[in-house]
Amino acid sequence: MMEPAAKQKVIYITYLIAALDITWLFLQFSITPYLARRLGFDTIWFGYLQTTVGVIQLLGGPIYGRFADVFGARAALSVSCLASVVYFLLLTVADNTFMLFVHKLPAVFMHGLPGAQMVVADLSENEKRADALGKLGLCFGIGMIAGSSLGGTLTLQILYIIKCYLYIIYTLYIIYLYNDYYHFYFCLEKGSSNSVFNLGEITRLMKFPGVAKTFTVKIISGLPAGIFQVMFSIIAMNFFQLKAEQNGYLMAYFGIVQMVIQGAVIGRLTSRFSEYSLLLLSVGISSLVGLAQAMMTNVFHFCLIVMPMMFSLSVFNVITDSMLTKSVSPSDTGTMLGLCASVQSLLRTVGPTIGGFLYETYGVPSFGYIQCVINAAVFSLLLATGGRSQPHRP
């Protein structure tokens, strides 16, 4: 068993790795829509591109989680980082439509943030898990600010080259850190004889009390916000008329807001209120955010909406992940977090197609109205059922 100080050191290293991973990811997010437009993509084709990524990661998420449970999080994170190197190498030569789709294929193994969550979930105590997972959101905010700012400032050609080489250096750094400090502490010698591709081992987790209910809430309540997030780059270009650098600064603003919420707010909330109460709060606020989004007309209005929007999203994601990981044994937390990651991938899979249709047919306000109605319905159902069937660790 690891000493508490050693566990904390590993968690801190994991936070650093997560921040670096998100930085490079948002570099890519900042430039992909502009590259797609330069290659002649319209809104519908950009939706197809985003859907491709969602399908790839949807298929890879549960397998990645199972891989972590069998071989340990160190091996899983190494695979994710190597896949990222290939991903960015392909991005440097994505000068036509075919290559822009091909460079997304390594995303099947790119699950750096879920990998970091697996480490934190296994090394943190139950009562401190939501706070520890929330700190990963702080790292997410740092990466969002750094990556979006660089993505909005650097030109496409320079960015490709810098990003590729930085990611190679970053991956070597991760390997060094994990060999030097982590070694196989976290692996817990999970080396089960069960296959990584054992579908039964993945799906059996859904049979634990309350898990199916929480997953249903995570999917249904998260769908409208997921659609809006997937389509935001198009909304920023066409509805808000933002340039690449302006979009980068707006994303950096998102990151600052999220850093404050994840680093200073969520920990205090989880120590004072039950997770079910916070779940209710996040869904209720999300409904009001949707109504505000339906009424916004310019980017200033949106900047005001960002604060409650990021609060509801951050609390919702942290609380649902915490509730679900507490429902299973430590040897299954990787698979459970892989399934949680697949929820996000599912939203990115169906989101672009639905979002492209809504945007072209009904405009931006439709996203807000749908979010308001769906989350109001989920809030009512949660309120009616109370805390029954909440997940608990067996």
Query: Does 392 fall in a domain?
Result: no
Higher pLDDT, 297 or 136: 297
Question: For position 3, what pLDDT does the model report?
Answer: 75
Confidence label for 191 from pLDDT (cuts 50, 70 and 90):
very low
Average pLDDT, the chain: 77
Long-range pairs for 272-277 at CB < 8 Å and ≥24 separation? Answer: 274/387, 275/130, 275/319, 275/322, 275/323, 275/390, 276/382, 276/386, 276/387, 276/390
- Nearest-angstrom CA–CA distance, 337 and 324: 8
Average pLDDT over residues 188-207: 58
Cα–Cα distance for residue pair 41/77, rounded to 1 Å: 33
CA-to-CA distance for 167 and 81, rounded, in angstroms?
9
Residue span of the structural domain in which 291 resides = 4-183+208-385
- pLDDT given for residue 292 in this prediction: 95
Among 74-83, 190-199, 239-248, which stretch is predicted with the lowest mean pLDDT? 190-199
Contact 262, 143 (CB under 8 A): no
- Kindly tell me if the per-residue pLDDT of 373 is higher than 90: yes
Query: Which pLDDT belongs to residue 186?
Result: 42
Is 42 inside any structural domain? yes
Residues 251-296 have pLDDT tens digits of: 778 878 878 887 778 878 888 888 889 999 999 999 999 999 999 9
- Does 195 reside within a domain? no
Write down the pLDDT at residue 172. Answer: 54
- CA dihedral for 183, 185, 186, 192, sign (positive or negative): positive
CA distances from 148 to 229, 270, 355 (A): 15, 29, 23
Task: Please indicate, yes or no, if residue 191 is contained in any of the structural domains.
Answer: no
The answer to whether residue 68 is domain-embedded is: yes
CB 284 within 8 A of CB 337: no
Domain assignment of residue 231, yes or no:
yes
**Chain position carrying tokens 């650097």:** 154
Q: Are 238 and 391 in contact (CB under 8 A)?
A: no
Statement: residue 229 has pLDDT above 80? yes
Residue 165 in this model has a pLDDT that exceeds 60: no
- Give the distance from CA 145 to its chain's centroid: 15
Q: Which residue has the higher pLDDT, 243 or 177?
A: 243
Res 163: pLDDT: 55
pLDDT tens for 86-139 read 887 787 777 788 888 888 888 888 888 888 887 787 777 777 777 777 777 778
Confidence at 13, pLDDT banded by 50, 70, 90: confident
Q: Looking at residue 24, what is its pLDDT?
A: 77
Q: How far is CA 143 from the centre of its chain?
A: 12
Please report which helix (H) or strand (E) contains residue 117, including its range. helix 112-123
Q: How many angstroms separate the CA atoms of 223 and 381, rounded?
A: 17
- Note whether residue 190 is domain-resident: no
Least confident segment among 152-166, 180-194, 224-238: 180-194
Mean pLDDT of all residues in 380-394: 67
Residue recorded with tokens 């919420």: 261
Closest CA to 138 of 289, 290, 11, 308: 11
Provide the percentage of residues in the chain whose pLDDT is more than 90.
13
Residue 366: pLDDT over 80:
yes
**What angle, rounded to 10 degrees, do the helices at 112-123 and 333-361 form?**
140
CATH number of the domain that residue 72 is part of: 1.20.1250.20
The DSSP annotation for 167-214 comes to HHHHHHHHHHHIIIIITTTTTTT---SS-TT-HHHHHGGGGSTTHHHH
Q: Does the pLDDT of residue 182 top 90, yes or no?
A: no
pLDDT at 377: 95
Q: Is residue 117 part of a domain?
A: yes
pLDDT, tens digit, 9 for 90 and up, residues 58-69: 788 878 877 877
With a cut of 50, say whether residue 240 has pLDDT above it: yes
Domain count, the chain: 1
* Whole-number pLDDT of residue 178: 53
* Ramachandran angles phi, psi of 24, nearest 5°: -70, -30
- Determine contact, residues 283/313, Cβ cutoff 8 Å: no
Q: Determine the pLDDT at residue 167.
A: 58
